[in-house]
A and B are shown apart, each in its own frame.
Chain A
Amino acid sequence: MQSSRRDFLKLAGVSALGLSAGTLGFLGEGARAADALPTATDFAKPSTAKRWAMVIDTAKFDDALFKKCIDACHSNHNVPEIEGKQQIKWIWTEDFEGAFPTERPAYLAEEQEHRKYLLLCNHCENPACVRVCPTKATFKNNEGLVIMDYHRCIGCRYCMAGCPYGARSFNFQDPAPHIKNINLQYPHRTRGVVEKCTFCVEKLAQGKLPLCVEASGGAMVFGDLTDPNSEVRKVLKHKYAIRRKPDVGTEPGVFYII
Chain B
Amino acid sequence: MYNAKFIIPGLIIFIGLALFPFIKGAGQPELKVETEKPKEAKECVLPKEKIRDVHMVLLNEWRDDVIRNGKRVYTSENGKQYNMSLTNTCMGCHENKDKFCDKCHNEVGVNPYCWNCHNTSPVKKEGEK
A-side residues, CB < 8 A to B, are: 1-3, 28-34, 37-44, 139, 141-143, 147, 149-151, 174, 182-190, 201, 205
With A37-B88, A139-B68 already in contact, the answer to whether A184 and B83 are too (CB < 8 A) is no
Asked if A182 and B119 sit within 8 Å, CB to CB, the answer is: yes
With A29-B129, A34-B126, A37-B92 already in contact, the answer to whether A187 and B119 are too (CB < 8 A) is yes
Asked if A187 and B126 sit within 8 Å, CB to CB, the answer is: no
Asked if A38 and B83 sit within 8 Å, CB to CB, the answer is: yes
Most buried by B among A1, A34, A37: A37
When chains A and B are docked, how far (Å) is the Cα of A3 from the Cα of B97?
A: 14
Option from A143, A149, A174, A183 in Cβ contact (under 8 Å) with B68: A149
Asked if B82 and A40 sit within 8 Å, CB to CB, the answer is: yes
Asked if B122 and A184 sit within 8 Å, CB to CB, the answer is: yes
| Distance (whole angstroms) from the CB of B53 to the closest CB of chain A | 22
* Interface residue tally for chain B (C-beta within 8 Å): 31
Option from A3, A37, A142, A188 in Cβ contact (under 8 Å) with B122: A37
Please classify the interface of chain A as helix (H, G, I), strand (E, B), loop, or mixed, using the class held by over half of its residues. loop
Asked if B82 and A31 sit within 8 Å, CB to CB, the answer is: no
Binary interface encoding of chain B residues 112-129 relative to chain A, with 1 for a CB under 8 A from any of its CBs, else 0: 010011111111111111
Asked if B83 and A31 sit within 8 Å, CB to CB, the answer is: no
Asked if A43 and B87 sit within 8 Å, CB to CB, the answer is: no
Asked if B70 and A141 sit within 8 Å, CB to CB, the answer is: yes
Asked if B83 and A40 sit within 8 Å, CB to CB, the answer is: yes
**Known A37-B122, A39-B82, A147-B67; further 10 A-B contacts with Cβ < 8 A:** A29-B129, A32-B126, A33-B123, A33-B124, A40-B82, A43-B73, A150-B117, A182-B119, A185-B119, A188-B117
21 inter-chain pairs at a CB distance below 8 angstroms, sorted by A residue, are: A28-B119, A30-B126, A31-B122, A31-B124, A33-B125, A34-B125, A37-B123, A38-B85, A40-B73, A40-B74, A42-B83, A43-B73, A184-B87, A185-B119, A185-B122, A186-B119, A187-B87, A187-B119, A188-B117, A190-B116, A205-B70
